């Protein structure tokens, strides 16, 4: 997930948009908008890491127990809490 973010002036404020041009927030300064972009990029990296780890777990469980992907995802979901 490599989302790109865009900051655009809106009067005296700055609006943040995602790569599909959806508005994400209105900020009083460019610095505040940039801080939000940095936060979102960190979250994007965390999400991608978690997704990769889950996929590896699914594949391992499928191989070890010779089960379908759907079944492996079920058990991983159950185990996660």
Give per-residue pLDDT as tens, 1-36. 568 999 999 999 999 999 999 999 999 999 999 999
The pTM (predicted TM-score) of the whole model is: 0.78
Average pLDDT over residues 36-60: 97
User: What CA–CA distance (Å, rounded) separates 5 from 78?
Assistant: 35
In percent, the amount of the chain with pLDDT more than 70 equals: 98
Which residues have C-beta within 8 Å of that of residue 16, sequence separation ≥ 6?
5, 6, 7, 23, 24, 25, 26, 27, 33, 36, 37
């Amino acid at each position: 997930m490599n989302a790109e973010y865009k900051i655009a002036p809106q009067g005296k404020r700055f609006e943040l948009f995602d790569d599909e041009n959806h508005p994400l927030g209105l900020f009083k300064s460019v610095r505040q908008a940039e801080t939000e972009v940095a936060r979102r990029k960190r979250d994007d990296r965390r999400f991608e890491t978690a997704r990769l780890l889950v996929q590896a777990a699914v594949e391992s469980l499928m191989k070890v127990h010779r089960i379908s992907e759907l079944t492996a995802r079920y058990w991983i979901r159950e185990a996660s809490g």
